[in-house]
């Protein structure tokens, strides 16, 4: 039975957004970030489209990388950067997945996996340049690089990359990115002194790629930009960046009703009509990823009219004001491109970021692919 809501994914937009990234960064390699089910867009179809414009694919967790290898087949390069002590990395080596290494225990885990499988590991050495998250402390990098050089000499590993991640690339004037670039340069020198020659130094994701030319190095890692959203709409909107949204979310109204003045709407009656109104019920709720924090504020378009949620978002549905001529069965558009509200508009309504709006879209909302 057809579901009364849907997410339409424009694969041409994915390709065009990556082409725009390439236009900005020149001859640098491009790693398309498809973690978290391609930010909610669907990892398999998006990855296939992305590979028409990208050199690498990237996911957070090794389990994601293994599933991705099954979807794209042998050949395309895949980088994964999250795994825990005790994880069987042999599967990743057998699947030809590049692994990030940012802790001494990870180096030894990779060494053990190479011993068990006989497969040389392709690794990207990660340094923490200012996130206080993953990666070697700069003070520990010389020892880590020396140990990796030993394993490289033994034929156990090939150090393909040196990388880090920017904390405030979406704030171009704050100075933090320049400080992190300086630390990254020191890391590059330390790796070189240890005898490592990584072919891919990479630091910039979407914000770094667009707004910090010095951070582009050998490869950039666009995530949110590939999906047509801005890393920070207060700096530049997606449209101003030459991007267009890949996802359009819509649903069919399941109820229409006229209500009088002083009608309380949804749980808690946080909205009460000040005049007679026509209301429609949209079959999407917080179980589908619609943020409850957007209650009374989330924008949508129904019957050509821009309107908003009225009352609290429920688990499976919410109420919105609709034009007089609209009825059950008509389509409500929550976000997309063109004249529709954007995921960033929803992020503003929910006091969050566009990344969260698209990536949290629930599995029961079917995706369709076009282009």
Active-site residue, 267 included: yes
The reply to whether 216 and 350 lie within a common domain is no
Mean pLDDT of each 10-residue bin along the chain, 371 residues long: 92 99 99 99 99 98 98 98 96 98 98 98 99 97 98 98 98 96 98 98 99 98 99 97 98 98 98 98 98 98 98 99 97 98 98 98 97 94
Q: Which residues pair with 328 in a beta bridge?
A: none
Instruction: Give the pLDDT score at 198.
Output: 98
Q: Map the chain to HEC letters.
A: CCCCEEEEEEHHHHHHHHHHHHHHHCCCEEEEECHHHHHCCCHHHHHHHHCCCCCEEEEEEHHHHHHHHHHHCCCCEEEEEECCCCCCCHHHHHCCCEEEECCHHHHHHHHHHHHHHCCCEEEEEEECCCCCCCCECHHHHHHHHHHHHHHHHCCCEEEEEEECCCCCCCCCCCCHHHHHHHHHHHHHHHHHHCCCCCCEEEEECHHHHHHCHHHCCCEECCCHHHHCCCCCCCCCCCCCCCCCCCEEEEEECCEEEEECCCCEECHHHCEECCCCEEEEEECCCHHHCCCHHHCCCCEEEECCEEEEECCCCCCCCEEEECCCCCCCCCEEEEECCCCCCCHHHHHHHHCCCHHHHHHCCCCCCCEEEEC
* 237: in domain: no
Confidence (pTM): 0.96
Same structural domain, 197 and 304: no
Residue 2: per-residue pLDDT: 79
Is residue 307 within 8 A of residue 276, CB to CB? The reply is: no
* Same domain, yes or no: 251 and 215: no
**Are 212 and 357 in the same domain?**
no
Helix 43-50 to helix 11-25 angle, to the nearest 10 degrees? 40
234-285 tens-digit pLDDT: 999 999 999 999 999 999 999 999 999 999 999 999 999 999 999 999 999 9
Boundary-marking domain end, from 227, 260, 287: 227
Query: Considering the domain boundaries, does residue 2 fall inside one?
Result: no
Q: Is residue 16 part of a domain?
A: yes
Residue 346, domain member (yes or no): yes
198, 227, 256 - which closes a domain: 227
Q: Is residue 92 a part of any domain in this protein?
A: yes
- What is the domain extent for residue 288? 247-370
Domain-located, residue 232: no
Q: How far, in Å, CA of 99 to CA of 59, rounded?
A: 10
Q: Are strands 200-204 and 77-82 parallel, antiparallel or unpaired?
A: unpaired
345 with 212, same domain? no
**Residue 207 is part of a domain; what is its CATH number?**
3.20.20.10
The answer to whether 75 and 98 are in contact (CB under 8 A) is no
Is residue 219 located within the same domain as residue 269? no
Our CA angle for 291, 345, 333, nearest 5°, is 75
Catalytic residue among 3, 56, 83, 267: 267
65 and 196 share one domain = yes
Residue 121: its pLDDT value, please? 99
Regarding whether 186 and 156 lie in a shared domain, the answer is: yes
Instruction: Identify whether 327 is a catalytic site residue.
Output: no
Q: Nearest CA to 157 among 98, 207, 211?
A: 98
Q: Are residues 199 and 71 in the same domain?
A: yes
Same domain, yes or no: 112 and 180: yes
Residues 187, 261 within the same domain: no
- Does some domain include residue 242? no
> Given 35, 217, 355, 369, which residue is catalytic?
35
Report the C-alpha gap between 62 and 42 in whole angstroms: 17
Whether 59 is in a domain gets the answer: yes
CATH number of the CATH domain containing 284: 2.40.37.10
- Among the candidates 227, 255, 271, a domain finishes at 227
Number of separate domains in the chain:
2
Residues 25 and 98 in one domain: yes
């Amino acid at each position: 039975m057809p579901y009364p809501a849907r997410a339409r994914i424009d694969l041409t937009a994915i390709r065009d957004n990556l082409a725009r990234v390439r236009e900005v960064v020149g001859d640098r390699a491009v790693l398309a970030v498809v973690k978290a089910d391609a930010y909610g867009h669907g990892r398999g179809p998006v990855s296939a489209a992305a590979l028409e414009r990208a050199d690498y694919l990237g996911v957070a967790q090794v389990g994601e990388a293994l599933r991705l290898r099954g979807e794209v087949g042998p050949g395309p390069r895949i980088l994964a950067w999250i795994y825990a002590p005790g994880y069987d990395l042999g599967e990743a080596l057998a699947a030809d997945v590049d692994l990030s290494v940012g802790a001494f225990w990870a180096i030894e885990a990779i060494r053990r996996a190479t011993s068990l499988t006989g497969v040389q590991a392709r690794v990207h050495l990660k340094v923490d340049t200012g996130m206080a998250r993953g990666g070697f402390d700069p003070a520990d990098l010389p020892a880590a690089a020396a140990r990796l050089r030993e394993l490289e000499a033994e034929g156990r590993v090939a150090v393909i990359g040196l990388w880090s991640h920017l904390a405030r690339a979406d704030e171009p004037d704050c100075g933090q990115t320049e400080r992190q670039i300086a630390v990254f340069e020191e890391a590059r020198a330390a790796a070189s002194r240890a005898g490592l020659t990584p072919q891919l130094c990479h630091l910039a994701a979407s914000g770094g790629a667009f707004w910090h030319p010095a951070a582009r190095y050998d490869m950039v890692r666009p995530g949110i930009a590939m999906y047509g959203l801005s890393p920070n709409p207060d700096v530049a909107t997606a449209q101003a960046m030459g991007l267009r949204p890949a996802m359009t979310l819509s649903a069919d109204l399941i109820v229409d009703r006229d209500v009088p003045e002083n009608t309380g709407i949804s749980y808690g009656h946080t909205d009460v009509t000040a005049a007679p109104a026509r209301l429609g019920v949209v079959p999407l709720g917080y179980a589908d990823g619609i943020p409850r924090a957007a209650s009374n504020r989330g924008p949508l378009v129904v019957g050509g009219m821009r309107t908003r949620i009225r009352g609290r978002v429920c688990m499976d549905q919410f109420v919105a004001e609709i034009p007089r001529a609209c009825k059950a069965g008509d389509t409500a558009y929550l976000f997309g491109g063109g004249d529709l509200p954007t995921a960033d508009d929803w992020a503003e309504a929910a006091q969050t970021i566009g990344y969260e709006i698209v990536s949290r879209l629930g599995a029961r909302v079917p995706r369709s692919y076009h282009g």
